[in-house]
Amino acid sequence: MPKSYTVLLTLALTFFAAAATLLDAYQILSFPPSLLMGLRWAAIGAMGVWIYQRHSLTAWIVFSMVVGTEIGLDFPAFSQHLNVFSKIFLRLIKTVIAPLLFGTLVAGIAGHSDLKQVGRMGWKSLLYFEIVTTLALFIGVVAINISGAGYGGGIKKPDSQSEPVTMAWDATELKVDTVKNTYQLQYEGNTLSAPAPTTKQKWDEVILHIFPENVAKMIYDGQVLQIVVFSILFGIALLLLGKGHHRQTMLNFAEGLAEVMFKFTGLIMYLAPFAVGSAIAYTVGHMGIGVLVNLIKLVATLYVALIAFMLLVLLPVALIFRINVVRFLKAIAEPVSLAFATTSSEAALPKAMDAMENFGVPRKVIAFVMPMGYSFNLDGTTLYLALASIFVAQAAGVPLTWGQQILMVLTLMLTSKGVAGVPRASLVILMGTAASFDLPEWPIYLIIGIDELMDMARTSVNVVGNCLASAVIARSEGELIDPPQEA
C-alpha cells in the first residue's frame, strides 16, 4: 500500500475511533464497548503499517506508547504481567552508568582539558560552562516546583505486593543485629526482616559519602557521585603524566570504552519500544488513564523551562558579548534541526562546527571549545535532569527540602557531564541520581514513555548552548570575525 494511502487511512480511523470514544465517554451517544475497542485497534493496526514503512526507532517508541495505553485500558489484568519488560530495560541501562561516566569524564579531562596548553581559553570555557549549566539546573528546579507536575491524583504509588502475616509469638524467634540496626523475625522457617529506621545524615556524613572507599563497592552500590569523583581524579592524574606512552594508552582505553558504551546503549535502545509499551500498559492498567495528565504536564514544564532558559540566560549572554542574534540563529538552524530529529547532540557536531566557522568563529577556537562543551556544557540536559529528578520525588510522595534539592543540583553539576553522545543517555544519569537520593524507581518507568518528546527539545538546546559558547569565547579573545557592515 502506498504511504500516502496508509497515512490517510490511519488518520481516518484514528478520527472515527477518537470521536466515537469521546462521544461515548461524555454520554452524548452510546456505543457497544466491543465496537469502540474494535475501532481503536483498527486505527492502531493502520498506524502500525505506517510506522513499519517509516523504519524509525522514534516512530516505534511513539507507537508503543499508543499500543501500551490501549492494552492498559482494554486488558488491565493482563497488563500487570508486562512490567517485567520495562524492568529488564532499566536493568540494562543501569549497567552503563559506571563505564560510561568513567570513559567520558577521563577522556574529556585528559583529552581536552590541558589548561597549560590552551591558557586563557581553558579557564574561560570551564568557568562559562559551569555558570551557564548551574543556572540551567536552578531554572529546572524552580520550574518543576512551580508546576508541581508530579503531584495530583493521576500518579499513585503501586500497591505493596506483601500481605499481612499473623503468627503466634511462642513460635517466633527474634534476632537483633545491633551493628546494622536491623531485626529479623523467624517463624516456622520463614524470615521477615525490617530495615534500619532512616535518620537524617549529618553534614560531615554527607561530605564523607561523596568520596569512594572501594572502586568495586561504589560500582556495585551504584554511587554515581563517587564514580564521578574517582573519574575526575583519575583524569587529572592521567593529565599529569605528560605526553607519554602510558598516558596515550590509558587515554585510548578511556575513549574506546566511552565509544563502546555509546554503542552498547544504542543496542539497548532497540528494546525501548517494548519497554515503553509495557511500562505504559502497566501504568495505565494499574493507575488509570489519569496518569497521562501528569506526564503531559511534565513535558509542558520542560518546554517552558527551556524557553525561559534561552530567554533569561542565553539571550542576555549573546547581547552582552555583542553577538548578532538573528544571524546566529540563521547560522545554527540546520544543526539544531538535525539534533532535534536525531535526539543526539553529537550527530549535529560536524554541521555545528561548520556553521560556527561560517559565522566567524576561528577554527582553532571551535576545535577546543565545542568538543569540551559536549562534555561540560549540556544546558538542556542538565535542566531536564534537575526537573525530572524532582518530578520523581513528587510522584513518589517523597518530600525534598530546599537544602536537599540544592544538594541534588550540586550532584547533577558533576553527573550530567559527558552524556551528549547517545540518544536518551540522560536516563542513565536519572537512574543513578534516584538511587543516590533513595528515590524509588517506578516513577522513572513513566518518564521512559515520554522521554523521546523531551529529548528532542533538550538536545536542541544543548547544540544552541555549545554554538553560543564558541562565539562567546572567540569574542572574549577578540577573534570573532564580524561581517562587514553595509554602508
Residues linked to residue 186 through DSSP beta bridges, in sequence order: 173, 191
DSSP string covering 190-211:
EEEEEPPPP-PPPHHHHHHHHS
Give the Cα separation of 416 and 399 in Å (integer). 23
Q: What is the pLDDT along the chain (487 residues), one digit of tens a residue?
A: 666 777 788 888 888 888 888 888 778 888 888 888 898 899 888 888 888 887 777 678 778 888 988 898 888 888 888 888 878 877 887 787 788 778 877 876 777 555 555 567 778 888 898 899 889 989 999 999 998 887 764 555 554 444 444 444 444 454 444 434 444 444 445 444 443 443 444 556 657 777 888 888 888 877 766 887 888 789 888 888 877 888 889 999 988 998 888 788 778 878 878 887 887 788 777 766 666 677 788 889 999 999 999 999 999 999 999 999 999 999 888 888 877 766 666 667 777 888 898 898 887 778 778 777 776 788 888 898 888 889 888 888 888 888 888 888 877 777 666 554 444 566 777 877 787 788 887 777 677 767 767 877 888 899 899 999 999 998 988 888 877 654 4
Q: For residue 129, what are the CA distances in angstroms to 42, 118, 325, 413?
A: 50, 16, 20, 10
Q: How many CB atoms lie within 10 A of CB 161?
A: 5
CATH code for the part of the protein at 89-156+204-476 = 1.10.3860.10
pTM: 0.60
| Residue boundaries of the structural domains of the chain | 3-81, 89-156+204-476
Q: How many CB atoms lie within 10 A of CB 320?
A: 10
Smallest Cα–Cα separation from 411: which of 426, 430, 433?
433
The sign one gets for the Cα dihedral 478, 479, 482, 483 is positive
Q: How many CB atoms lie within 10 A of CB 209?
A: 14
Q: What are phi and psi of 376, to 5 degrees?
A: -120, 0
Burial of 255 (0-12, 13-18, 19+ CB in 10 A): middle
Q: For residue 14, what are the CA distances in angstroms to 196, 219, 299, 427?
A: 52, 47, 23, 31
Give the Cα separation of 262 and 268 in Å (integer). 10
